Structure formats: structure tokens, C-alpha cells
Amino acid sequence: MLSRLLTLAALALGLLATHLPASAAIWDSVPDEQLKALDLSRDASPKELFDSLSKRYRAELTKGKLARYWEPIPMDTYLAPTLFYKPPAEPAIEAKREDCVGCHTAVTHGWVKSWEKSVHANLDQIRALPDSDARAYKKGVIVEVEDNLRSQGLLAQGQPLKDVQCTDCHMGVGVAGGNHAKDLRMPDRTVCGTCHVRQFAEAESERDTLVWPQKQWAQGHPSHTVDYIANVETATWAALQQREVAASCTMCHTNQTKCDNCHTRHEFSTVEARKPEACATCHNGVDHNEFEQFMYSKHGTVYQTLGASWDWNIRLADQFASKNGQTAPTCQTCHFEFKGQYTHNVVRKVRWGFLPFKNIADNLDDPWFKDRKEAWVGTCSQCHSPRFATNYLTMMDDGIKAGTNLVEDTRKVVQKLYDDQLLVGQKTNRPPLREPEKDEPGGFSSLFFADKNQTTMVDRTFAEMWEQHVARYMKGLQHVNPGGWTYSHGWSDLIKDQAIINEQDTVLREKAALEQRVNKLEGAKGGTKTSSFNNAAGGPLAGMGIDPLLAGGTLAMLGGGLLVGGWVGRRRRPGGDEH
């Protein structure tokens, strides 16, 4: 009898613990590094955690150190609402909570339809789900949200959350209404984080857990949680006069400013957010084409052929263990996982970052990198043997090192051309860049500015090599796409870049040598020295009708012929003989 009572008591305590306010302890998915940075203990309340997070968030989300060089355009209102959003002047009405859906059904019915399908609009339907339903875990999420709101004084004790309406997100949680022209807000991360404190903390912890041991990147970079600052503090971006072009960059660099890049408003579907297509808008293209690399891999092939049979309502952490779950990884199952736990911090295993650097390649034996490699072995071992995973990751590292060495060897060639002032137009019409960008050989600006000989073919080719091609090469290796790291747009593109630059190096140096010879000969006869680069009117090359952009070999041959033929002209010796 006593044993039975103890069992019942333990069961009751277990059930109670399930519904205890989250103030009992900060979730273990929130890293210790973040709590240390915020000066919080593990037994802090959701309110204390949220207040600390939102205070830091708003302090660090600014126009950046290059703010004086650019001004926002109207579109920035939506891209960085924390900084720039102001309510529309019309309609200047007092909007009540119950008015929003009725009005917007006529004005923006797409928003309303999405919201009506969302969990936000159907909390009671979730509460009524049987435990056998794959979505039943969301009942616990609702309880967690309610506890968060009670901790912040936004929901009365014992009162359930009825639904999440327009005014909760666009005016304030629980408010009855407000003035449409004064009180309207565009939600940022802190708005979502008011209810979803744990997810907010996990996502924000990226800046606390990504601390590079040799300072290869700044703390927290590259990650979603600092991607807006990484954008606005890029000199090329700030120098762009075409702000519409700059806005295109910003449209992907808004994970720091809001949550709807992954959870599209107003349905905020977890099913959508769990599929690779949710990542595709930003993770594609010439410099970080993770989506294409994944889709062309065997992992992506399985997803494309069998993914329709997987139950996407199953919680991400349970996908591989569930009968109708995934049988191959997606972006989310690999990058959200860290040592068996799935969170909104997706950089806990980052080792190479956005681009492969020499100071990363040279330090992979550092314990920081080795620990993260072991974490990746654990991730891959959900489907593969640890030996297979280790061998592949080692091959990947060695391959990336080879690509990095190729870039660095070519960088020396480009730098020497620049230092010797041999790039086309460098001595004549290479204009300075707009502030705050500074001229450098093959810089990032070479992809955006082309005023006169700013930039040149060498600059442009090298910019593509280090910022695009080696990145795609690395992504192909990392996402197991064989063609991606060899032929399609990997090693073969890097070799092409190197070939173009080495040939240009030869051509430009042969032209420079020819110019020196011609100037020397002209100087000997007392003529005016003329640059063979710009083929100035009246110059020796112009007189011969020779295009200075001809291959250096041709000019070198002509130069030899000129010397043999005595082009410098005939002159009489004192004795009268012609030579």
C-alpha cells in the first residue's frame, strides 16, 4: 500500500513538474555561455531572461559604425523594423482587437487566410489533440508560452491563453486595441521572443557560443544572430549609391531583425520551417549555394524522392526515431542538432564559417576545432558509422585546405601586380572608390563597382575566386555534392580563375617590359616618353596602329623586331655615313 502511495505521489509530482512555471529553472537548451554573458544564473525567471536578452538586442542592433555613409529607403522599414518602422498615417482609427480580422479580410485577405490556418488562431484545437497525434507536443509549447507570459505579468494566473490575435503581435500582448496610426508596430525578434522566450534565447545564443580561438572571425560571426550588423558594416554595402541594390543584400540579412525569414508570416508554419526550401531563399547562389549543393547530393535525392511520405508534423528531435519520420537528413536535422539536442542555435558545430581562411586551415588541430569535429561525427553517426563520418570529414577538411592554398597562391600574384602598379589603368585612369571603401586588389567591391578601370579583369576574376568559387567549392565538399566540389562549380572554376590571372600576369608584365624598352630607346634619341598602356596620341604604338591590349607575346615579338630593324631611325655619323 505504501509503495503504491509513493508511486502515485511520484507520478503526481512528475505531472506537476510538467506544468510548473518555467521560472523553476532556465531551460538546459540555453547555453551556459549565454547566461554568463548576461550575468544570469540558471534559476533566473523567464522575465529576467527576456528582459536581459531584449535589452542587449536593442542596444546592439544599430545602423552600424558606417551609418554616416548611408540612409534607409522606405523598404528598410520592413527589413529592420526595430530601427525604422513608423505606422502609416492612414487610417487614423482606434482599432479594437476584434476589428482587425474583419477589416483585413477585405483589404489583405491573404494575411487573414494564413493566420486562420496557424496554431496562433487554433490553440484550443491543439489542446484537444490526442497524445497519439504527432502535433501533441505543441500542447507543452502552449503551456510554456503561458508560463512565460505569467512570469512577465502579461497573463493572469490560472487564465489560459485564448488565441494570438493581430494586436498581440502588432500592438502588444494582450492589449484590447490601440490607435492604428500611433500604436502599430512591425514585429521584431523581441516581439516573438515575448512569448517564445526559450527559442529567442537559443537563437540569440549564437553570438555567445561562436568565439573563434584565433579570432578568425569576430565573436558571433558568421551567424543569423548578427547578420544585419554584418551587412550594414560592410564597406561595399555602405558605399553603394544604388540603395535598391543594397536592399537586395539586406533582404537576406534580416534574421537578426525578425523571425519570418524561416517562419513565414502569418502562418508561422513549423512544417515549412523544417523543409530545406525554407532555407533556399538566402542559402543559394554564387557565394553560399548550400541549397543547391544539398539538393544535388544523395541526401537531397532521398529528400526529393521520398520526402513526401515523411510526416513533417513530427517534432524535429523525434524525426529519425519515429515510424513515419525522416530517412535522410535535411538542413534542419543537421544544423539544429548539437550533441543530441535540437535548438535554434545553428552554429554550435561551425568550424569553417562562411569562407575558408588560411588561419582556419592552419589551426584545425586546436581543441576548439577538434571538439566541433567530434560533434559533427555524432551528428553524422545517426545514419553512418563513426569511422565513415570521420573519414569523410577528414577528406572534406583536406579538400578545403587544397582550395584555400590555391586561392592564397593566386592572391600573391594579384597583390604583386597591384603593388607594382601593373593592373590595367592603374597609372592612368583607375579612380578611387567611394567612401568608406578603400582600393585593394581583387576586393569585394570588384563585384559591385566598375567605374573606368575600377575594376579590372584581374580584380574581378580574383574577387569571384575568393568570395564565390572557393565558397561554392567548400559548400560542395561540406554537403556531399561530388560535382559541386570538382567540376560543376568547384575545383575546375578555381583552376580557371588561376589560369586567367596567371595569363594576365604574364601579359601585363611583358607589356611593362616592352614599355621600358621603348621608353629607353626614345630617351636615347631625345624623344618624349610615352606610355604603351594608354596608347596616347602620337605615341610610338599609336603611330603603328597597335592596340596595347594585344597579347603580350605579340608585343614582345614586335619589340624584338623593332630593335632588329633599327626602328629608332637613321642618323649620320660625323663622317657622313648613314646607319
The yes-or-no verdict on residue 6 having pLDDT over 60 is no
Bin 474: left if φ > 0, else alpha if -120 < ψ < 50, else beta. Answer: alpha
b/e burial code for range 121-138 (CB count within 10 A of at least 16 → b): bebeebeeeeeeebbebb
Decide if pLDDT at 231 tops 60.
yes
- Amino acid 552: pLDDT: 42
pLDDT higher than 60, residue 15: no
- Please choose, from the candidates 237, 230, 215, the residue with its C-alpha nearest in 3D space to the C-alpha of residue 443: 237
pLDDT of residue 9: 42
| Structure confidence at residue 530 (pLDDT) | 52
Confidence of residue 561 (pLDDT cuts 50, 70, 90): very low
CA distance 474 to 403: 8
| pLDDT band at 17; cut points 50, 70, 90 | very low
Is residue 550 pLDDT above 90, yes or no?
no
**What is the pLDDT, as a whole number, of residue 557?**
41
The mean pLDDT value for 60-68 works out to: 97
Euclidean distance between CA atoms 126 and 146, whole angstroms: 14
**What pLDDT digit, counting tens, does each position of 516-544 carry?**
999 999 888 765 555 544 444 444 444 33
The predicted structure's pLDDT at residue 524: 80
558 vs 310, more confident = 310
Distances (CA, A) of 507 to 146, 290, 442, 458: 70, 37, 18, 11
Question: Is the confidence at residue 40, as pLDDT, over 60?
Answer: yes
Per-residue model confidence as pLDDT tens digits over 185-211: 999 999 999 999 999 999 999 999 999
Confidence of residue 155 (pLDDT cuts 50, 70, 90): very high
Residue 130: pLDDT over 50: yes
Average pLDDT, whole number, for the chain?
89
- pLDDT, one tens digit per residue, over 269-301 is 999 999 999 999 999 999 999 999 999 999 999
Radius of gyration of the chain measured on its C-alpha atoms = 31
Instruction: Give the rounded percent of residues in the chain with a pLDDT score beyond 70.
Output: 87
- Selected residue with higher pLDDT from 537 and 446: 446
What domains are there in the chain, each with its CATH number? Answer: 400-570 (1.20.850.10)
CA atoms of 320 and 452, how far apart (whole Å): 56
Quote the pLDDT of residue 529. 54
Lowest mean pLDDT among 55-64, 488-497, 510-519, 522-531: 522-531
Choose between 558 and 352: higher pLDDT: 352
DSSP class of 212: -
